[in-house]
């Protein structure tokens, strides 16, 4: 399907600068633009490409002033990045699968399936589970017994949702996500062996949460592991039993959060962060990449880093000395040698 620059401008509430009849049928990056595609320019570092791109239409900020002739038709908007994000969402929705239940799926007779739901091949849905309207559940996904799944949520191929899990509305689970697997609970015995502690809790995921591929969220020992609304989790993250993650917190790849730790809202946790158990991280905290968090913090809005983690500005100052550690040790050794020789002489 093709759309003209004028039609797109009306959707984006922008203004056409160029040919309003220019047509596109696909999207592209500006540096890889080709005829018939629409791209965008939001980052000044990519400005050079607007003079080179073959894209037919480029979305730009309304205050963009070209330094020379621009071949594509431009659509001027208040925020090019946000506008192009809207186009990506529309494009994704246009490609969405049509509602149907595959005859190769296994749906329990006691399960309740909402309206306009897509259920792919080899999906398994357990007893007494409720699936809300407009959900999309792709091949080889398993949703256990007594689960409650809200509306408009998407489960990509191979997702595993264990029994008793509660999922909100408009959530996205990417391939390989596991929700509700047992927490890591083992009691040491006198003979040095370990006895498994039953994990009888569940996982609650609130509205508008997105969970990246191969991320795992353990069920609570008792009660619930809680992922609050608006949380965004990257790929390859481990969330342990009874963890709570506050609203609109984002966590980057390869981070591990140990049991019973409470993360506040609007936090930013960078990649490869390790957080030990039973800690409290306040609202609006930023934790820099590869940090090891070993204690709780009280003041909201801090930036912390290092291992063990502490105030990031102090960590940056300390890192200057870390780099010079060998030099400083050599200087101290030299001073001690001189003092020793001076004492011998005297």
Active site amino acids: 241
Tell me which residue has tokens 């969402």.
89
Q: Closest Cα partner for 145 from 169, 124, 114?
A: 124
DSSP labels for 73-103? Answer: EEEEES-HHHHHHHHHHHHHHHTPPPPEE-T
Main-chain dihedrals φ then ψ at residue 93, nearest 5 degrees: -65, -35
**Using CB atoms within 10 A of its CB, is residue 2 exposed (0-12), middle (13-18) or buried (19+)?**
exposed
d(CA 19, CA 4): 9
Closest CA to 123 of 96, 105, 110, 101: 105
Considering only CA atoms, which of 40, 25, 34 is closest in space to residue 75? 40
Residues near 184 by Cβ (< 8 Å), separated by ≥ 6?
Answer: 218, 240, 241, 259
H or E element at residue 161: strand 160-161
């Amino acid at each position: 399907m093709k759309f003209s620059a004028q039609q797109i401008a009306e959707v984006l509430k922008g203004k056409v600068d160029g040919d309003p009849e220019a047509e596109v049928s696909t999207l592209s990056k500006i540096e890889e633009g080709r005829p018939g595609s629409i791209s965008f320019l939001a980052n000044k570092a990519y400005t050079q490409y607007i003079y080179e791109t073959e894209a037919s239409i480029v979305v730009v900020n309304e205050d963009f002033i070209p330094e020379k002739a621009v071949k594509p038709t431009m659509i001027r908007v208040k925020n090019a990045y946000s506008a192009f994000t809207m186009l990506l969402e529309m494009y994704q929705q246009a490609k969405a699968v049509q509602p149907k239940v595959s005859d190769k799926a296994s749906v329990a007779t006691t399960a309740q399936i909402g309206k306009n739901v897509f259920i792919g091949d080899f999906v398994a849905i357990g007893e007494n589970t409720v699936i809300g309207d407009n959900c999309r559940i792709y091949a080889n996904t398993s949703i256990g017994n007594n689960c409650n799944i809200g509306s408009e949520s998407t489960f990509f191929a191979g997702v595993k949702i264990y029994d008793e899990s509660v999922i909100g509305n408009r959530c996205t689970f990417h391939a390989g996500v596991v929700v509700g697997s047992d927490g890591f609970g083992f009691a040491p015995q006198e003979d040095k062996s370990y006895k498994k502690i039953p994990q009888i809790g569940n996982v609650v995921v609130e509205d508008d949460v997105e969970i990246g591929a191969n991320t795992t969220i353990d069920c609570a020992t008792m009660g619930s592991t809680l992922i609050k609304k608006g949380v965004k989790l990257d790929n390859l993250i481990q969330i342990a039993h009874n963890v709570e993650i506050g609203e609109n917190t984002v966590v980057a790849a390869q981070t591990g959060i140990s049991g019973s730790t409470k993360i506040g809202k609007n936090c930013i946790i960078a990649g490869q962060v390790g957080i030990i158990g039973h800690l409290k991280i306040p609202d609006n905290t930023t934790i820099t990449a590869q940090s090891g968090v070993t204690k709780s913090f009280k003041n909201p809005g801090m930036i912390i880093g290092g291992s063990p983690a502490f105030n990031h500005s102090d960590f940056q100052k300390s890192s200057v000395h870390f780099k010079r550690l060998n030099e400083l040790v050599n200087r101290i050794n030299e001073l001690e040698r001189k003092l020793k020789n001076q004492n011998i002489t005297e």
